[in-house]
């Protein structure tokens, strides 16, 4: 039996999680018909709303096998992802994969099937905003601008990677690359904020892992709560991260 772990970093997502978990339950039925089981890991990052209760109730109601990891205080997206990565490596078997996605209902779980289909060709499969055929709805113009600037900057530094979208968090990771990364880099990455996602990818690229991209269906208009991302601060962190990671890769 093959297992797909679905990691959901969550902070105050009690409104979005019921809709998202209902969609995941639909994907669960499709994958089970292919002898693939899913296991959902929700990292509740010190939420002040009902994220914990909503997660537990709807996992049970939709008959989804899963676990809710609870932090006492908000530690940031990076720490939430780190918690999920450690849980995945501690609980999964060799033929398991991890899909990380946003918990705000902007990523469509049906794309997990396509991510899985492409996983035979790469170590990391990225749902990319910049792949031909992607559908993007409701994203503010300023976010689109900064996203494109980040793409151009990181593509310039890492042209050999074949990656266009370094910052989107919707990705499938095979177990072995993550396990190898943990051996060499126990914390996986340094950042605890949104820059953790590009840093994780750059660290995997430094380990010579192969990435492929599929078109992303991003429904930002489904998001029920305002984004907590500080766009300018995140952009500055990515500038520093891109340059420093390239220097480390050069001397490795």
Strand order in the sheet with 2-10: 66-71, 36-45, 2-10, 97-100, 171-174, 124-128, 211-215
pLDDT at 234: 74
pLDDT at 250: 61
From CA 178, how far away is CA 193, in angstroms rounded?
Answer: 20
pLDDT at 239: 84
Per-residue pLDDT of the chain (252 residues; tens, 9 = 90+): 789 999 999 999 999 999 999 999 999 999 999 999 999 999 999 999 999 999 999 999 999 999 999 999 999 999 999 999 999 999 999 889 999 999 999 999 999 999 999 999 999 999 999 999 999 999 988 888 888 998 999 999 999 899 999 999 999 999 999 999 999 999 999 988 889 999 999 999 999 999 999 999 999 999 998 777 666 777 888 888 887 887 777 655
Count of domains forming the chain: 1
pLDDT at 237: 82
Cβ–Cβ under 8 Å, residues 107 and 14:
no
pTM attached to this predicted model: 0.94
Structural domain containing residue 122: 2-251
* Residue 89: HSE in the Cβ half-sphere, 13 Å Cα cutoff: 18
Task: Give the domain CATH number at 155.
Answer: 3.90.550.10
pLDDT at 87: 98
pLDDT at 146: 87
Backbone angles phi, psi at 174, to 5 degrees: -75, 155
pLDDT at 198: 94
- Buried b / exposed e over 210-244, threshold 16 CB at 10 Å, is ebbbbbbbbbbebbeeeeeeeeeebbebbeebbee
pLDDT at 24: 98
- Residue 49 per-residue DSSP state: S
Backbone torsion region of residue 248, taken as left when φ is above 0, otherwise alpha when ψ lies between -120 and 50, otherwise beta: alpha
């Amino acid at each position: 039996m093959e297992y797909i772990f679905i990691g959901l970093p969550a902070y105050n997502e009690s409104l979005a999680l019921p809709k998202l978990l209902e969609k995941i339950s639909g994907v669960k039925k499709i994958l089970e018909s292919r002898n693939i089981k899913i296991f959902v890991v929700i990292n509740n990052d010190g939420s002040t709303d009902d994220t914990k209760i909503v997660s537990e109730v709807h996992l049970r109601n939709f008959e989804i096998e899963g676990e809710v990891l609870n932090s006492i205080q908000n530690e940031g997206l990076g720490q939430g992802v780190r918690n999920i990565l450690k849980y995945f490596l501690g609980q999964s078997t060799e033929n398991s994969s991890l899909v990380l996605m946003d918990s705000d209902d902007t990523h469509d779980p049906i794309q997990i099937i396509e991510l899985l289909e492409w996983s035979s060709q790469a170590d990391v499969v990225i749902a990319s905003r910049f792949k031909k055929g992607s559908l993007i709805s409701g994203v503010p113009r300023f976010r689109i601008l900064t996203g494109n600037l980040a793409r151009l900057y990181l593509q310039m530094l890492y042209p050999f990677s074949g990656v266009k979208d370094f910052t989107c968090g919707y990705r499938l990771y095979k177990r072995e690359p993550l396990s190898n990364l943990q051996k060499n880099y126990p914390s996986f990455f340094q950042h605890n904020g949104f820059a953790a996602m590009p840093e994780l990818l750059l660290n995997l690229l430094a380990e010579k892992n192969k990435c492929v991209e599929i078109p992303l269906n991003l429904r930002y208009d489904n998001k029920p709560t305002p984004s907590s991302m500080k766009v300018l601060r995140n952009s500055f962190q990515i500038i520093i991260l891109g340059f420093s990671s390239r220097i480390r890769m050069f001397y490795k």
